[in-house]
Structure formats: structure tokens, C-alpha cells
Amino acid sequence: MATDKELLKQIITGRRSTYPKDFKYGAKIDDGVIEEILSLAIWAPTHKLTQPWYFKVFRNNGVKAFFQKQSEIYQTITPQEQIAPKKIEKYAIKAEQTSHVIAIIARHHPENKIPEIEETVATACALQNIYLSMKAFGIAGYLSTGAVCYTPQMEEFLGLNPGDKCLGFFQLGIPADNLNVVNRKRIDYQEKMEWID
């Protein structure tokens, strides 16, 4: 039986991003699984317990509306000669491949004395909890960001309050049976640290 330390190593090093092209086409995640994952996400560290994270979950027709809006915004903010028809087509395909989309939002209230960066970091920790939870629940996904994510049009679509920041969209699905898992590498941690005496 694996020790707690071994299990922790497996969970962290086993974290993967899986893209919609590698989801079972049209397969749906039970809403209860999404709720369980979000119930774990909220155990992220948060200064003064402000708990700034907020999740908007798109499902069923909401997923189609989400990708339609992404496509519309992309075509609005991109110069006409740079619009890629394949990208527009990709939005339509993702709408069929993806089970749920979770908008990850950091809420920072103006009267809150906690610096906005700390609220963003706390929300990013909640996001990592989602990543670490997926495999145990038999689902897959990745965080999608990009220019469309940060536009005023998307803020309006999401109904964000002043001070809210969207950090990205978690696109989730059931992994394909023949999913080819690529072992990604990291730069050795010793190259990213120094001891100070």
C-alpha cells in the first residue's frame, strides 16, 4: 500500500492537461462530480479567509452558448484579414466535445484590504485543486485562457462585478479510452531554487 508521501507524489506528478480533442465525443460528466470537485477546490489557502474564488459552471446548452460567445468575441477582436476559419470551426467542435466549462473567477472587493494579487493567487490555488482532483474522479480537462478570456465582452457575458477577474475556463470531459498520455518533463527543481544562509 502506498504511503501518504508516495500517494501525494503520484497525485501531483500525475496532473495532466487533456484537451477536448481527447475527450469521449459527447460524453457527459455527472453534475454531482462537478460539485464534488468544486467542494475540494475551496480548500485553497486564503488570506483572512476572504475565499475570493467564484465558479460559473456551463452545462448542456450553456456549453454551446459559451463557445458561440467565444467565437463571436474572437471574430470581433481579430482584424478581418487575420480571422482563421479553422479556429471558428474549432469553437463549434469543442461545443460538442466538452461536457462542462467552469469559468474561474477571482472576486476582489474594493473595501477589502487584502491586495488583489493575493486574491488572484488564492483563486489560482483553488484552480490547482481542480487539476489535482480530476484523475481521481475519472475526468479530464485543461485551463483555457487567451485574448478572448480577458475582454470586456467576456466580462459582460459572465456578468462580472467591478473588481472581478476571470482567470480562465476549465474545459472538462470524459477522457477517451485510447488516450495517449505524454510524460511531460520539468526543469530540475534545483535549477529553480537557491539556499540562503
φ, ψ for residue 55, nearest 5 deg:
-125, 130
Give percent of the chain above pLDDT 70. 100
pLDDT tens-place string over residues 133-153 = 999 999 999 999 999 999 999
Residue 22 lies in a domain: yes
When mean pLDDT is compared across 9-13, 56-60, 89-93, 117-121, the lowest value belongs to 9-13
11 lies in a domain?
no
Domain total of the chain:
1
Whether residue 194 lies inside any domain: the answer is no
pLDDT of residue 83: 95
**pLDDT tens-digit readout, 55-100:** 999 999 999 999 999 999 999 999 999 999 999 999 999 999 999 9
**Domain assignment present for 159:** yes
Domain enclosing residue 67, as ranges: 17-176
Q: State residue 21's pLDDT score.
A: 92
26-40, 43-57, 107-121, range with the lowest pLDDT: 107-121
Q: What is the pTM assigned to this prediction?
A: 0.94
Starting at the earlier edge strand, list the strands of the sheet with 100-107. Answer: 53-59, 100-107, 164-173, 140-144
CATH of the domain at 172: 3.40.109.10
Residue 42 CA, distance from chain mean position: 14
Domain annotation covers residue 134 = yes
- What letter would DSSP give residue 156? H
The answer to whether 40 and 114 are in contact (CB under 8 A) is: no
**DSSP secondary structure letter of residue 175:** B
Residues 58 and 141 sit within 8 Å (Cβ to Cβ): no
Residue type, 11: I
